[in-house]
Amino acid sequence: MSEAMVTRGRLIGVSLGPGDPGLITRRAWALLQRPDAVWVYPARSTRTPSYAFGIVERAGLQPPAEHQCLLFPMTHDEEKLVRAWHRAADAVLPWLQAGRDVLFLVEGDAGTYATFGHLARTVQAMDARIATEIVPGVQAFTAASAGLNQPLAEQDDTVAVVPAAYGVAMLDRLLPDFDTLVLLKVKPLMEPLLDWLQQRELLAGAAFVERVGAPDERHLRGPAMLALRGQKVSYLSLLIVKNPLRVRGERIRGCLKKDVA
């Protein structure tokens, strides 16, 4: 068969939800049943198990004959990240070019702060004939909000989802415009964030959720969060902060307005 006649496989980002196997969607579950697909899944290092792979293990799913862990170091060093994406692309391209679909397993949602987008762009830069697909999933912050039995937003509430790495100065700029702040990747800034919550009188409406959906999930609310001072927390941690002090301006209800004849 000529090179031109070979059908390329697809690179599919399969979202698994944040940790509870019960949150895997039917679409993702169906893909994971395919014996002909290849699984790849990320890990931070050879010493750290893949969190995504752990979700499918807890679901009782068996990997196909061909599966591989891909290493993506936890760093902001652009050169190291680019090298990791290229190594991962080099690993999956032979399967894709041979017509095999490759499922990239992702905790949470593959389109929200996930590694999949970087890998997909790298693969397509190497071979533009490769098609990619994202299977959406439950995000950690929506699952966390549900676990707290607390709506994330109601009626005309505004919500900001930001990596906490931008610092507390950015949060002060967001407060006037948002009723709910979702702060991701809070591990490096727990102490400053606790100070900020106390100073802004927001502690009572805040909640900390760690490893949502996993067997060792932990959540603390309000003043109980102060117990986190001096503790190590997981990278998979977030804060949900309700802002009852926000003063709302005029809301233009254009979608509700009836035309007058």
- At 4 the pLDDT is 54
Q: What is the CATH number of domain 3-135?
A: 3.40.1010.10
Instruction: Please give the C-alpha separations between residue 207 and each of 68, 70, 107, 203, in angstroms, as whole numbers.
Output: 36, 33, 21, 8
Beta bridge partners of 209: 219, 238
CATH 3.40.1010.10 domain position(s) in the chain = 3-135
- At 147 the pLDDT is 95
CATH 3.30.950.10 domain position(s) in the chain = 140-242
Q: What are phi and psi of 169, to 5 degrees?
A: -60, -40
- At 68 the pLDDT is 96
The Cα–Cα gap between 193 and 184 comes to 12
- At 5 the pLDDT is 57
Contacts of 83 (CB under 8 A, 6+ apart): none
- At 254 the pLDDT is 61
Q: Residue 25: is it exposed, middle or buried by C-beta count within 10 angstroms (0-12/13-18/19+)?
A: middle
The Cα–Cα gap between 154 and 180 comes to 10
Structure token pair of residue 102: 């490759």
The Cα–Cα gap between 224 and 145 comes to 17
Structure token pair of residue 54: 């752990």
Structure token pair of residue 96: 């894709």
Check if CATH label 3.30.950.10 holds for domain 140-242: yes
Judging by DSSP bridges, how do beta strands 180-184 and 237-242 pair with one another? antiparallel
The Cα–Cα gap between 238 and 244 comes to 19
190-199 residue pLDDT tens: 999 999 999 9
Roughly how many angstroms between the first and final C-alpha of the chain, as a whole number?
Answer: 67
Judging by DSSP bridges, how do beta strands 102-106 and 38-43 pair with one another? parallel
The Cα–Cα gap between 240 and 144 comes to 8
Judging by DSSP bridges, how do beta strands 131-135 and 102-106 pair with one another? unpaired
**Tens-of-pLDDT digits for all 261 residues of the chain?**
445 556 899 999 999 999 999 999 999 999 999 999 999 999 988 888 999 999 999 999 999 999 999 998 777 778 888 898 999 999 999 999 999 999 999 999 999 999 999 999 999 999 999 999 999 999 999 999 999 999 999 988 999 999 988 889 999 999 999 999 999 999 999 999 999 999 999 999 999 999 999 999 999 999 999 999 999 999 999 999 999 988 877 777 666 555 554
The Cα–Cα gap between 219 and 209 comes to 4
The Cα–Cα gap between 8 and 16 comes to 24
- At 113 the pLDDT is 92
